[in-house]
Amino acid sequence: MISLTVPLLIAALHLISAAAQTTGTTRYTVWASVIFSRTGERTPEVLGSDPTVLTSVGAQQQFANGQFFRERYFEPHNNFSTTNGIGPAPITGMNPEVPDVQKLYVQALDTQSTVASAQAFLQGLYPPVSFGGNQSEVQAMIDPTSRLANDSYVTPPLGGYRYAQIHTSGQYDPEAVYIAGSLNCPAFVFEVEDYINTPQFAELQASTLDVYQKIGPAFLSGVLPSDQWGFINAYPIYDYLSYQNAHNTTANTLFTSDEYTDPNTGTSYLDTLRYYANQQQYAWFGNVYADNELTGKGFEGGVKGSVSTIAGNMLAAKMIAQLQTAIRYKGAYYQLSLLFGDYEPLLSLFALADLPPLDSAFYGMPNFGSVGAFELYAMSNPASVEFPSEEDLWVRFYFRNGTDVDEPYQAYSMFNYGPDNFEMRWVDFQTNILEIAVGDLGQWCQQCGASYSGSDRIFCSYWNASDSIEGAAVLSSPSGHRGVSPAIGGVIGAIVALVIAGLIFGLLMLVGGMRFHRVQSHKSELGGFKGGQKMASDRDLTLPKGGAIVGATIETTPGSPIAGGH
Ligand SMILES: *[C@@H]1O[C@H](CO)[C@@H](O)[C@H](O)[C@H]1NC(C)=O
Ligand SMILES: *[C@@H]1O[C@H](CO)[C@@H](O)[C@H](O)[C@H]1NC(C)=O
Ligand SMILES: *[C@@H]1O[C@H](CO)[C@@H](O)[C@H](O)[C@H]1NC(C)=O
Ligand SMILES: *[C@@H]1O[C@H](CO)[C@@H](O)[C@H](O)[C@H]1NC(C)=O
Ligand SMILES: *[C@@H]1O[C@H](CO)[C@@H](O)[C@H](O)[C@H]1NC(C)=O
Ligand SMILES: *[C@@H]1O[C@H](CO)[C@@H](O)[C@H](O)[C@H]1NC(C)=O
């Protein structure tokens, strides 16, 4: 019985922990949180194996993430340090043992690695728990659905595993654009093409060639033709080789050898390749001032950002909408929101929120399993169960760059507020984030040029109407423009067809006439831009004929690593 009563007591303790702290002091008390997590480690996106799947390493990372946030949000609030924000900070009013279908919102892009990441995270967040024995009062309080009329208790499978709801968003689901806004966005592809035509790009392609030529013969032959070993493929090459380094003994040994170490700096070429990939990806996803050659204009209402950062603009809208809903319903909905995608939306969000100038680490791609979180909190008496008013609420942005135990969960100040001002009043935060948020799906369709008939974003044709897109607004602005319903989440289990790298890859094949020799090319007879990753059910992306590049310019963000060359 001990194995049953111990979790039982812990559960009961959790539920009463807030009430027990009637010290009268005010403390950092979390009322809602929205977290975006990069997938755990997965197989490489473009080169090598397909389809991309979460590895066991990735599953362990996300499981550890779940445990980390269980500790933060569900452990009693006994030793919280207000200076660094580290330690338990329980979310008031959430059941720590059984996922609450209204208070917990989970959304994953419909790819194996992101959906499995969500599952592993949830396993760590809500480990199996059983309330057996005959303590029917506790059972009824914590887990009433597991109790039968005759007072016996039915333990769920796997020793009490709990099943949370996971919304998956595939390519036909409008919700997908909020967690992967650059996916299937033709104008984004043109923006990347523009970048490839800049002098900065040509310079980088030339100055980095040496390293790619050095590593190519040992690591890339048979995977990528030698004329494609270069900065143009910086991301797919790094993504592939970092995976090889982690899982392939030969590659791992080579990367630690002198032969593949820069003789001047003593750094492994793998690190150099990461640096190049970071530069390339920041140029693609972090260019706040890029021109959109399809629309010739930026977002409506002067919202900051561009088609380059569109994934971050959409994510910002999603994240604030979750918090707005939590506030509107006083915590009855979405107290904890977990979103799973890849690194692109985070990278764009960093750029939009002015994080790179604050800390140059934000120019780099976040690690697998990294999380960005907005915590909505109040300095209140933890015993209080009354949801604070908007005037009393604050927000902090936290980032944790991966799941290693010693990786800090650190608060950063956004929007140029100064390094120490990482605490923002909710009302200020809302004003600032609305300046970078694009919540309107119609704008996404328009900016991306996805409204034409023939786009596989079929939902865009609905927004391709001259009339207002009022009903589509996800955001409520402080001026009282309200359109949020608690049922924001879409649930369509469509097959996600396109991985961003696949899209870019296809583009490069188009632009540079490249051909990748796939290690396993048994599926490549399907053809089309996804090559071997294409599913029979996928449709080819049809780029509009008018989408040719005509004298477009690109501006680099002040201080971006691209501006200064390398
Ligand atoms: C609380 O934190 C302080 C400082 O970090 C530490 O010395 C102390 O042991 C902690 N107490 C508990 C009960 O964890
Ligand atoms: C309930 O548990 C108590 C002590 O653990 C025991 O004395 C009692 O017989 C149990 N009742 C039933 C109905 O099993
Ligand atoms: C209660 O009902 C369930 C389902 O009918 C049965 O399996 C179980 O043995 C019953 N328990 C007791 C203590 O009667
Ligand atoms: C392991 O790495 C070596 C060196 O890059 C490469 O030749 C080999 O094909 C790799 N093995 C697999 C299974 O990818
Ligand atoms: C996260 O870690 C990667 C790898 O070390 C690094 O390139 C990147 O700059 C880091 N990002 C942040 C925000 O610390
Ligand atoms: C709407 O669709 C039509 C027909 O496909 C197309 O010509 C037009 O450009 C689209 N409008 C927008 C705003 O994308």
Pocket test for ligand 6, best of 185, 294, 451, 542 (most atoms within 8 A of CB): 451
Regions in the chain scoring below 50 on pLDDT:
1-23, 83, 466-566
- pTM score, whole prediction: 0.80
**Which ligand lies nearest the alpha carbon of 132?**
2
CA neighbor of 360 nearest in space, from 279, 305, 296: 279
Ligand nearest to the CA of 221: 4
Query: Does some domain include residue 331?
Result: yes
pLDDT (tens digit, 9 = 90+) per residue, 332-362?
A: 999 999 999 999 999 999 999 999 999 999 9
The answer to whether residue 491 sits within a structural domain is no
Domain annotation covers residue 296: no
pLDDT in tens, 482-499: 332 222 222 122 222 233
Q: How far is the CA of 84 from the centre of ligand 1 (A)?
A: 14
- Whether 149 is in the pocket of ligand 3, judged by its Cβ within 6 Å, is no
* Residues framing ligand 4 (Cβ under 6 A): 218-219, 244, 248, 250-251
Where does residue 28 rank: exposed (0-12), middle (13-18), buried (19+ CB within 10 A)?
Answer: buried
Query: Using CA positions, which residue lies closest to atom 2 of ligand 3?
Result: 150
Report the number of distinct structural domains present in the chain: 1
Q: Is 270 a member of any domain?
A: no
How many angstroms does the Cα of residue 405 sit away from the middle of ligand 1? Answer: 18
Atom 7 in ligand 3: residue holding the nearest Cα: 152
Cα–Cα distance for residue pair 260/254, rounded to 1 Å: 7
Nearest CA to ligand 3 atom 9: 152
DSSP-derived secondary structure letter, 182: T
Note whether residue 200 is domain-resident: no
Position 323 scores a pLDDT of 95
150 CB near ligand 3 (under 6 Å): yes
Of the candidates 95, 162, 156, 87, the one whose C-alpha atom is nearest the C-alpha of residue 123 is 162
Pocket of ligand 6 (CB under 6 A): 446, 451-453, 464
> Which listed ligand is nearest to 452 at the C-alpha?
6
> Which tokens is 272 given?
């150099």
pLDDT of the residue at 206: 94
- Residue 251 C-alpha to ligand 6 middle, in angstroms? 49
Q: What is the DSSP letter of 386?
A: S
Q: Which domain holds residue 139?
A: 2-18+27-179+308-434
Query: Is residue 443 assigned to a domain?
Result: no
Ligand 6 atom with minimal separation from the 445 CA: 14
Look at residue 88 in the predicted model and tell me its pLDDT: 78
Residue 512 falls inside a structural domain: no
Question: String of b and e for 422-457 (b: at least 16 CB within 10 Å)?
Answer: bbbebeebbebbbebbbbbbbbbbbbbbbbbeebbb
**Can you give the pLDDT at residue 151?**
82
Would you say residue 78 lies in a domain?
Answer: yes
270: tokens are 């793998």
**64: domain CATH number?**
3.40.50.1240
Instruction: Convert 206-226 to b/e letters by CB count within 10 Å (16 or more is b).
Output: eebeebbebbbeebbeebbee
CA 427, 92, 481, 311 torsion: positive or negative? positive
Secondary structure (3-state) at 410: strand
